[in-house]
Amino acid sequence: MSSGFANIPKTAPFSEEDVALLNRVVGPANAVQRAWLAGFLAGVESATGQQAQPAAPARPAEPLTIVYASESGNSEKLAGDIAKAARKNGLKPNVIDMADLDLAALTSAKKLVFIVATWGEGDPPARAVRAYNELMGEGAPRLDGVEFGVLALGDTAYAEFCAIGRKIDERLAALGGKRVVDRVDCDLDFAEPAARWIGDAVKVLTPPNAGGRVIEVDFGGKPAAPASTDIVEAEITEHVDLNSSRSDKETIHLALSFENGAPAYQPGDSLDLYPENDPDYVDELLKVAGLTGDEKLRNDFIKSRDVTTLSLKTVEAYAEKTGHHYVKALIADGQAREWIAGRQLIDLIATFPIALDAEKLRALTRPLAPRAYSIASSRREVGDEAHLLISAVRYESHGRARKGVASNYVAERLKKGGRVRVKLKPNKHFALPAPDRDVIMVGPGTGVAPFRAFVQERRATEASGRSWLFFGDRTFTHDFLYQLDWQDALKDGALTRMDVAFSRDTPEKIYVQHKLWDRRSELVGWLDGGAYFYVCGDAKAMAKDVRAALVRAFADVKSLTPEAAEQAVVTLEREKRYLQDTY
Ligand SMILES: Cc1cc2nc3c(=O)[nH]c(=O)nc-3n(C[C@H](O)[C@H](O)[C@H](O)COP(=O)(O)OP(=O)(O)OC[C@H]3O[C@@H](n4cnc5c(N)ncnc54)[C@H](O)[C@@H]3O)c2cc1C
Ligand SMILES: Cc1cc2nc3c(=O)[nH]c(=O)nc-3n(C[C@H](O)[C@H](O)[C@H](O)COP(=O)(O)O)c2cc1C
């Protein structure tokens, strides 16, 4: 009879021969023999007094339910961090993605932690929408006496800063939960405040006398080590504007090569790119602040401070630090929130000038954050390279021409042969399915980037599943991103079908959602056959319109009520066959 014994791992603190010997003895032992051995060794240890505390706490470890709502992985990573800390403290963590949350599970939780990001314009992360609505809805269960704490992730640049974390925190209390850890709202530089909150939360949630020192035992058979997410420097080997010179857009195809091998990325992952600010903007900012000539500050501002974002927090800090009468009045009148819309730090200082020293000005800024870009290549096809597709953000507001920091750093100041710092941002929630499954990919504009990676991967792995791409942009002639790639893929079979929507080529604007509607019967046929549906790109309008089009397609093709059609899409989401990476 097999004992089901896993081999003693090579990492065990024994010589190679000892490991072989132990495997020979313990390997064929039956369950009773192994249990006896374990007890015997534990007894010897405690008798000699030099143990190695008992691994098991005196009483069963108390469960801690950790729910995270994440889009780009930050909350998910922190959920892992708190689980680790909780386990060390003798708690028994159970980590749940809010996408999979069954609210009934919360009622049996005694201790509960939510780590929650806010997306869109104060919305929950896409995967968490269903559970979030249920939690906010009338049918949510009572949580009387459940001890809870909420950690909120967000970005002060958004008007609805940490709105979802705030709402969940309020809701848990309204449902009878007992807040035992105060909520902390984290900005983009969340590492330190989040670590502090985790430390505090675990301390508060650990019952007295729980745990003791817990020995972590390596039973071998670990999953593969996660891909390195260190910041690495890459060389730019291609820098090409994919729009024609007559387009009013500029979208850069950037090929990066890595000296020590590309980060171990998978199709669907992104790279965080570390930008620098536009020196012209920084010079203008220093000029309006009366600090021209401060080279140290100038350098710091170009390389490492966020000098464009204007948040409510910044306006409040400005009023407090300078005592500026008008800025104080703006806040007191409740008009500051409206005033900052479409404005940047430079507008605040230019409109309400006051003598500032370098320290005061610097204190108004936060660290310059990296920007994420979907990887547009597969390592199977491009080896030690990674490709990105970056659209230059340019617009005008309040009479001033504005430029997105990172996209214009790439478009205007990075050149072939130059170098840039990047970091892998894995996204296991936007991965390809098994090679024999069909995939439908909806990616207008730069949303098409990950699908270039998907198509390359499917070609390299000779995937048998079919692939269907919906792409859209402004004009066929000037904005058909990666047109030749798609033509090649259609020829060699890596892409089975492609539908395009060029919004400015016809008097009536046509978008990808219109193409989905046109092809609705085949679309529903593919989905009924098990196809995966992917959406990438604009979150504000496109992603919502695409989802609505799919609901209507189900209703029409299968003669369903709107409610039943909505349920069909919810089922796809629950089965993780409707996947989004939108921004
Ligand atoms: C997971 C993920 C993947 C992404 N992949 C890609 C990708 O493949 N390609 C790509 O190009 N981008 C991608 N992005 C977006 C990218 O990360 C940046 O947000 C984008 O490039 C803008 O950054 P920036 O530094 O140039 O602009 P910022 O300096 O951050 O400025 C952007 C801000 O400017 C303001 N703004 C922009 N347009 C207007 C307007 N018309 N009117 C008023 N205000 C405006 C908004 O407040 C906006 O938030 C992705 C984002 C995420 C989260
Ligand atoms: C497109 C987009 C929209 C966002 N909207 C908001 C918002 O409305 N409010 C907010 O506080 N943060 C907002 N954020 C910031 C995220 O909450 C923040 O980056 C967070 O760390 C993401 O955590 P996650 O990786 O767990 O999803 C937004 C970020 C992006 C990229």
Render pLDDT for 430-476 as a digit per residue (tens, 0 to 9).
999 999 999 999 999 999 999 999 999 999 999 999 999 999 999 99
Three-state DSSP state, 105: helix
Would you state the structure tokens that stand for residue 48, as one six-digit string?
């000699």
Q: Is the pLDDT of residue 106 over 70?
A: yes
Residues 6+ apart with CB under 8 A from 416: 236, 237, 238, 239
Cβ neighbours, 10 Å, residue 225: 7
What kind and span of H or E run contains 496? Answer: none
Instruction: Give the list of residues 6+ apart from residue 508 with CB closer than 8 angstroms, or none.
Output: none
* CA distances, 200 to each of 78, 166, 220 (Å): 14, 19, 32
pTM of the model as a whole: 0.88
pLDDT single digits (tens) 85-100? 999 999 999 999 999 9
Q: What is the pLDDT of residues 112-144, one digit of tens each?
A: 999 999 999 999 999 999 999 999 999 999 999
- Nearest atom of ligand 2 to the alpha carbon of 190: 21
Separation of CA 410 and ligand 1 centre (Å): 13
- Give residue for tokens 């098990």: 530
pLDDT at 9 over 80: no
Atom number in ligand 1 closest to CA 372? 17
**543-582 per-residue burial string, b: 16 or more CB within 10 A, e: under 16:** bbbbbebbbbbbbebeeeeeeebbebbeebbeeebbbbbb
CA distance 141 to 107: 7
Q: Which of 81, 158, 425, 428 to mutate to test the pocket of ligand 2 (most atoms within 8 A of CB)?
A: 158
Torsion angle of alpha carbons 247, 275, 318, 326, nearest 10°? Answer: -10
Q: How far is CA 27 from CA 2, 3, 23, 359, in A?
A: 9, 8, 5, 66
> 3-state class of 433 per DSSP?
coil
Atom in ligand 2 nearest the alpha carbon of residue 583 = 1
Which ligand 1 atom minimizes the distance to the CA of 449?
A: 8
CA angle 451, 457, 460 (to 5 degrees): 145
CA nearest 433: which of 271, 571, 266, 223?
Answer: 266
Q: How many CA atoms lie within 13 A of 108 on its CB side?
A: 5
If we measure between CA atoms, which residue out of 285, 226, 232 comes closest to residue 259? 232
Q: Tell me the two tokens of residue 185.
A: 């709202």
Q: 326 CB less than 6 Å from ligand 1?
A: no
Spell out which residues line ligand 2, taking CB within 6 angstroms: 70-75, 117-122, 125, 153-155, 158, 160-163, 188, 539, 583
Report the pLDDT value the prediction gives residue 2, as an integer from 0 to 100.
41
Closest ligand 2 atom, residue 372 Cα: 31
What pLDDT band is residue 3 in, cutting at 50, 70 and 90?
very low
Closest CA relative to residue 74, chosen from 384, 425, 551: 425
Identify the nearest ligand to the CA of 583 by its number: 2
Return the bridge partners of 453, or none.
Answer: none
**Mutation pick for ligand 1 pocket among 373, 408, 424, 479 (CB with most ligand atoms within 8 Å):** 373
Spatial contact of 441 and 432, defined as CB atoms under 8 Å apart: no
Nearest in space to 444 (alpha carbons), one of 329, 545, 319: 545
Per-residue pLDDT, 15? 64
* 3-class DSSP string for 460-473: HCCCCCCEEEEEEE
Ligand 2, atom 22: closest residue by C-alpha: 117
Two tokens at 560? Answer: 């369903």
Residue 120 CA to ligand 2 center (angstroms) comes to 7
- With cut-offs at 50, 70 and 90, classify the pLDDT of residue 60: confident
Does ligand 1 lie within 6 Å of residue 72's CB atom?
yes
* Helix runs in 264-366, H state only: 279-288, 295-304, 312-322, 325-332, 336-340, 345-351, 358-363
Q: Point out the ligand nearest to the CA of residue 309.
A: 1
CB contact at 8 A, 293 and 275: no
Which residue reads 């990950």 in tokens? 450
Q: Is the CB of 65 under 6 A from ligand 1?
A: no
User: How many percent of the chain have pLDDT more than 90?
Assistant: 85
Q: What is the pLDDT of residues 345-382, one digit of tens each?
A: 999 999 999 989 999 999 999 999 999 999 999 999 99
156-173 average pLDDT score: 97
User: In terms of DSSP H, where are the helices of 137-223?
Assistant: 163-174, 191-205
Q: Which of 118, 164, 312, 371 best tests ligand 2's pocket when mutated (most atoms within 8 Å of CB)?
A: 118
Q: What is the mean pLDDT of residues 214-221?
A: 50
- Ramachandran quadrant class, 11 (left: phi over 0; alpha: psi -120 to 50; beta: rest): alpha
Q: What is the separation of C-alpha 555 from the centre of its chain, rounded to a whole number of angstroms?
A: 32
- To test the pocket of ligand 1, the residue of 282, 393, 396 to mutate (highest count of ligand atoms within 8 Å of its CB) is 393
Residue owning tokens 């990919």: 441
Judged by average pLDDT, the poorest of 60-64, 147-151, 242-246, 513-517 is 60-64
Dist. CA 534 → ligand 1 center (Å):
20
Which ligand 1 atom is nearest residue 409's CA? Answer: 26
Q: Which residues face 533 on adjacent strands?
A: 440, 578
Give the number of the atom of ligand 1 that is nearest the alpha carbon of residue 581: 1
Q: What is the mean pLDDT of the segment spanning 31-41?
A: 67
Do 140 and 134 touch, CB atoms closer than 8 A? Answer: yes
Residue 221 has pLDDT above 80, yes or no: no
373 Cβ below 6 A of ligand 1: yes
Residue 506 confidence (pLDDT) above 60: yes
